[in-house]
Chains A and B, each alone.
Chain A
Amino acid sequence: MDFFFLQVQAQNSAENYFPIVIQILFAIGLLTLMIFGSDLLGPKRKTADKLQNFESGIEIKGNARQPIAIKYFLVAILFVLFDVEVIFFYPYAINFRALKWEGFLAVVLFVSSFLAGFIYIFKKGALKWEE
């Protein structure tokens, strides 16, 4: 007796996704069960202290939703941007030999476009913290 997961490979049709549907249903069911189950079963004691925000035991000082300098977001988003691009180096690192000089050139092009972007944001003053 074969596993039916292996049979699925043979052809690609809607009914083959049936196990996935079952899995999704199962996952949703489990989640619901756990959330509502713990809610139902667990003991509840509501006090004023408990409903307050937890800030490592330090007393609360004002509202948490304070305006933060836009520069913070700018730097953060630029970091994320460049950081994410690094992901492309992983496949390249693995195929480094196979792709030969052609691949190298492509990566150089890729990196140089980064560099251009970096020069641009630098020149535009996006990374200047104080002004």
Chain B
Amino acid sequence: MNAIIFSAIWGVLMMFTGAFVQSKTLPKYLAITGAALLFLLNGIELYNGTPIFNINGMNMLAITSMNLTFLEVIFAATLLFFMLSGRDVERVGEHVSEYFALIFFVLCGVSLSSTYNTLLLLFLGIEIMSIPLYVLTGADKRNLKSNEASLKYFLMGAFSTGILLMGIAFIYGGNTNASFYIDQIHLGVGKMPVMITVGVVLLIIALSFKVSAAPFHFWTPDVYDGAPTVFTSFMSTIVKAAGFFAFIRLFKTSFGPVQGQWQNLIVFITVATMLIGNVTAVFQQSVKRMLAYSSIAQAGFMLLALFALNQTADDGIILYSAAYSLATIGIFAILIKMNDYTIEGFNGLAKQQPLLGLVATICLLSLTGIPLTAGFTSKFFMLTAAVENGHKFWVVIVAVIFAAISAYYYFRVIQAIYFKEPSSAEPVIDAERVSGSFKILLAITAILILILGIYPEILIGWAHH
């Protein structure tokens, strides 16, 4: 509750800062303050159990420690993102304050879609989350690719929104309670009525689009590639994790007991996503585009939580969100500073910037899922959850094989960082773009990845608090 209200207010505040204050650096600090306050206020709510403003939400919001823990992870990631890449947001264009304002509106949408208890709020949350993203994608107004990406994203997003609404309508019309409340769409364990089935399929399609799962992922590479890199970093981590969380919560609460009747779809989507994400990523030359495909591949792994749908999966999705966001924000923060986004651009990074090389390596190792990093524990949780589910064990085997394939394209970058000589005489990173505080924050990111890799309990403990 704190998060929803406060993020909206702070968004408006940032907006007005843009209108009334000329300073170019102020918005960044204001945004960092806002993210820190969000983290704090949400933390207080998680800790105390009561929000500061209590509005009678007619039970339309589900404020549970699990949801709040997830939001806490999101806000922590946002804070880290602001601190690491705030300066790069300033470089995107003139309307710095508005960019941050839009990010806060996205956060408002994230807060809604993480705590919704009715289909209406789910829709609202997802829309509030998506619309500012269309704008952010096109933030680099003079760049044709950015404009194209924005328009593509908008068109296809609108398409999926239609499907989402249609699905909601079918569910509403089909359930005997005529209820929007996701915990009241009683289905029992019998066979789903045709209308509900259609609704479920449509919801799966729409939400798969939002989390860029195959075969509804087509927008992802183009949009992630075209959008300004800072916003790609934000979109592919925080927003995507939120989409997953909403997805899983809906299907667990409303359709959990009849999972057997729609598990086939999830299996198809999961395997297709892993296949397309991993196999296509292998062939990319641009690290940015490779990361776009890798985000699809990682989505495939997160879909295992939806496949498993048990307690371990709940813990796993929180952990995965944290691990994936940390690593991706870290690697993107470095990528933004690079002069050349291709893999060759990373040649010899470790020699010129040893710390950056090391952190990039840790992030990539975490994305691959090498032990001692957060990526490993989170993948381990996901696989455990999938095994505990007890059905279709072959999906787990396929997941492991694809995780192995993913090592190929991640390690190619590591290889470039450590074992190759720079391709030109120019530095791979202009030294003045790497400040001391940036290095410290990167080091903190790497340490957090390692801590979560060794002792994931600290995060999961909160969710059961």
Residues of A within 8 A of B15 (CB): 120
Q: Tell me if A45 counts as interface (CB < 8 A to partner B).
A: no
Residues of B within 8 A of A123 (CB): 19-20
Partner of A116, one of B12, B173, B194: B12
Q: Tell me if A65 counts as interface (CB < 8 A to partner B).
A: no
A120-B19, A123-B20, A124-B19 known; A12-B173 Cβ under 8 A: yes
> What is the total of A-B residue contacts with beta carbons within 8 Å?
21
Partner of A14, one of B16, B19, B194: B194
| Residue pair B20, A14 in contact (C-beta under 8 Å) | no
| Residue pair B19, A12 in contact (C-beta under 8 Å) | no
Partner of B174, one of A12, A113, A116, A119: A12
Instruction: Give the contacts of B1-40 with A (CB-CB under 8 A).
Output: 12, 15-16, 18-20
Q: Tell me if B285 counts as interface (CB < 8 A to partner A).
A: no
Q: Tell me if B166 counts as interface (CB < 8 A to partner A).
A: no
Q: Tell me if B41 counts as interface (CB < 8 A to partner A).
A: no
Digitize A102-123: 1 where CB-to-B-CB distance is under 8 Å, 0 elsewhere. 0000000000010010011001
Q: Tell me if B195 counts as interface (CB < 8 A to partner A).
A: yes
Distance (whole angstroms) from the CB of B157 to the closest CB of chain A:
18
User: How many residues of chain A have a CB within 8 Å of chain B?
Assistant: 9
Which of A116, A119, A120, A124 has the most B CB atoms < 10 Å from its CB? A120
Q: Tell me if B193 counts as interface (CB < 8 A to partner A).
A: yes
Main secondary structure of the interface of A (DSSP, over half): helix
Residues of A within 8 A of B193 (CB): 13-14
CA distance A113 to B194 in the complex (A): 43
Q: Tell me if B264 counts as interface (CB < 8 A to partner A).
A: no
| Residue pair B20, A12 in contact (C-beta under 8 Å) | no
Residues of B within 8 A of A13 (CB): 193, 195
Digitize B164-198: 1 where CB-to-A-CB distance is under 8 Å, 0 elsewhere. 00000000011010100000000000000111000
CA distance A97 to B20 in the complex (A): 39
Distance (whole angstroms) from the CB of A95 to the closest CB of chain B:
16
CA distance A119 to B12 in the complex (A): 12
Residues of B within 8 A of A119 (CB): 16, 19
Digitize B51-92: 1 where CB-to-A-CB distance is under 8 Å, 0 elsewhere. 000000000000000000000000000000000000000000
Residues of A within 8 A of B176 (CB): 12
| Residue pair B178, A12 in contact (C-beta under 8 Å) | yes
The residue in chain A whose Cβ has the minimal distance to the Cβ of B195 is: A14
The residue in chain A whose Cβ has the minimal distance to the Cβ of B18 is: A124
| Residue pair B16, A120 in contact (C-beta under 8 Å) | yes
Distance (whole angstroms) from the CB of B9 to the closest CB of chain A:
11
The residue in chain B whose Cβ has the minimal distance to the Cβ of A121 is: B19
Digitize B128-165: 1 where CB-to-A-CB distance is under 8 Å, 0 elsewhere. 00000000000000000000000000000000000000
The residue in chain B whose Cβ has the minimal distance to the Cβ of A125 is: B19
CA distance A73 to B9 in the complex (A): 28
Instruction: Give the contacts of A72-131 with B (CB-CB under 8 A).
Output: 113, 116, 119-120, 123-124
Residues of B within 8 A of A124 (CB): 18-19
The 6 closest A-B pairs by CB, nearest first: A123-B19, A14-B194, A120-B19, A124-B19, A14-B195, A120-B15
Q: List 21 A-B contacts (CB under 8 A).
A: A12-B173, A12-B174, A12-B176, A12-B178, A13-B193, A13-B195, A14-B193, A14-B194, A14-B195, A113-B12, A116-B12, A116-B16, A119-B16, A119-B19, A120-B15, A120-B16, A120-B19, A123-B19, A123-B20, A124-B18, A124-B19
With A14-B194, A120-B16, A124-B18 given, can you name 9 additional A-B contacts, CB distance below 8 Å?
Answer: A12-B174, A13-B193, A13-B195, A14-B193, A14-B195, A113-B12, A119-B19, A120-B19, A123-B20
